[in-house]
Structure 1
């Protein structure tokens, strides 16, 4: 058997641009909602306080590539309240069944998570949205801002974080890289006065409240990925048009949705669509200028596999596979 191609973090970052990946995420989620993907619920193995190992399998059917992401999510001992994602994405050939590529899962996750939010923002945010609020100061906060700047003409970015120094540093970095106005805002209620909000924190409790969010805002909830954490309160969930990345997963692991349902504010029908259905045009996303839209992102193996399959094919086309 030929050894699989291995792509380290630097190779993933060099080849997989945010623009390319945003298109890949749009198509991958359309395929998932369209029944072209077999995907099992992710499984979690608790390894102690702040330490989780997860398995995420999926495959394109019939006859397409398949595989899994193996990922560890560990609390960062040097930055309380932050988490590190490390792992591998393993791609198998759909015809031979052989493993053909192994890629750095942390870097794939960094790029595909932000790209998926950018694709959803492009579909759900107001066309003239120009003010972005980022709740969080880590890797995903930075990459989300870069990705969303590709799909909307941003005039201002506001950064909120529990660590004011980190929020200020991120705002300064974004101002330099994107050449637009970026500022840190210590008051989360003021930060939420935006056209687009992306929450990318490790918080188990809500950092974003419904009473702060103005009509017409689009919200990406992308930080929490398990049933016991929620970045937004139940009032916001109840007030919004709620679009899931994948209905089955949100009903099992979407912490914000599950809390609102437990509080009796919503039922399962509150999920108005999957984002792939919106991309396919079979379900509506935004229905009017006053809608508050939520895209709940849990992240899926199909996204990782779509990204790594593209990387693998790109490397082969370049004669580097």
Structure 2
């Protein structure tokens, strides 16, 4: 069994390559039971969330083998930020699809960052304008630089702005991106940036909407990544009502994502208003962007299929 570190994952993947891996995965499908979602209460703290995300291929792989089984074990502990540790921790276990033999134990944190950002970029390949050049990233957590790089892999991004409640953290992310050759700057005025961005990518665990729909310009694409419970909300009702709405999976987004659950409950959004999920876009069953002026919005809560596809890609690259 291979033990695959974060550095190994970085060495094995590229954003253009993983976007195409995910495109194929959503087109071909996999078995992905509803993920286990458990609250871990701790007196005197915000508590943690334990997520178990299994998936397996239900078809023979191109090499004739019986595919793979995988499960991701993730914890989300918001209080970790106060002690300088990431809020999200995890491991991914990849198994042989026929025998169940363990094949790889992969750094789940890094795998999640790569697949989450690449899923957003895959959605943007259907939903963002072809000429989208200005990207606003809201949040300066571990995922922020991955989102900037992934979106830059599918659209001609020339300007990147990073906004965070703590400006120093935004500048830290922007400086790291500049060191890699990206034109990135920290932003101080969120509402002004919302009015200029071609793509808005938000990765926070806020319960108060940060993306104000009234500020969005015509033709903008909104990518909501952070909220993963019904209480979390990154975009307001105006953003939902002004946009054509897409999700990674209907089953997940309509049950777990506050950005979808709350508008459904209030009547701002109807289930029929959700235009498509990623699999329907990847298979050509539904159309993405239809005009240059429309606003599109993609809500991601994460799908086990994404982890499985990314884990297989990492395993095969390093095994070679």
TM-score by shorter chain over 0.5: yes
- Residue equivalent to 2:210: 207
- Residue equivalent to 1:51: 48
Q: Which of 80, 85, 89 matches 2:88?
A: 85
Which residues of 2 match residues 1-321 of structure 1 at below 5 A?
Answer: 4-31=1-28, 36-48=29-41, 49-62=46-59, 63-79=66-82, 84-180=87-183, 182-192=184-194, 193-316=196-319, 318=320
Unaligned runs of 5+ in 2: 60-65
CA offsets, 1:95-138, max 9 Å, x none? 22322221110010111111111111122100011000010111
* Distance change >3 Å, CA 313–CA 81, structure 1 → 2: closer
What is the root-mean-square deviation of aligned Cα atoms in Å?
1.8
Runs of 4+ residues deviating >6 angstroms: none
Count of residues paired in the alignment: 309
TM-score (norm: length of structure 2)? 0.91
Cα distance in structure 1, aligned partners of 2:58 and 2:307? 16
Q: Secondary structure at the match of 1:295?
A: strand
8 Å contact 1:76–1:83 — kept in the other structure? no
* Distance change >3 Å, CA 44–CA 140, structure 1 → 2: same
Following superposition, the deviation at residue 214 of structure 1 comes to: 1.2
Q: Secondary structure at the match of 1:178?
A: coil
Following superposition, the deviation at residue 219 of structure 1 comes to: 0.9
Unaligned runs of 5+ in 1: none
8 Å contact 2:223–2:298 — kept in the other structure? yes
TM-score (norm: length of structure 1)? 0.91
